[in-house]
Amino acid sequence: MDQGRWIASPAAEFAWADWSDGHVLYHRTSGKTHFLNEAGATLLREMLANPGEAFEADPALNGLLLRFETLGLVQRVRGR
């Protein structure tokens, strides 16, 4: 299965709070707040560091990216 490429929603849509045991992300567009573990926060921040650039993920991250897609935090880029 093609894992595809991914792009994060614009950084302006997010407000972050970092705590010793995790990260809280408020998604302004949906009005929802999400708790992210270290892996999730690192992945999303890495994607946000390169706005507008499609991210080709390791297949091991596919489950996390699919969950982020469901939450509206990232989008799959169709085609090449």
Range of the domain at 62: 5-75
**Domain tally, the chain:** 1
Q: Residue 31 domain-assigned? A: yes
Q: Rounded to 10 degrees, what is the CA torsion of 21, 46, 70, 33?
A: 40
- Whole-number pLDDT of residue 78: 80
d(CA 30, CA 46) in angstroms, rounded, equals: 21
Kindly provide the b/e burial profile for residues 14-53, where b requires at least 16 CB atoms within 10 angstroms of the residue's own CB: beeeeeeeebebebeeeeeebebeeebbebbbebbeeeee
- Whole-number pLDDT of residue 1: 44
52: Cβ contacts below 8 Å, ≥ 6 apart: 7
Q: Residue 12 domain-assigned? A: yes
Q: Residue 80 domain-assigned? A: no
Q: Residue 55 domain-assigned? A: yes
* pTM for the model: 0.85
pLDDT tens for residues 16-46? Answer: 999 988 999 999 999 999 999 999 999 999 9
Q: Is the model more confident about 2 or about 21?
A: 21
Q: Residue 60 domain-assigned? A: yes
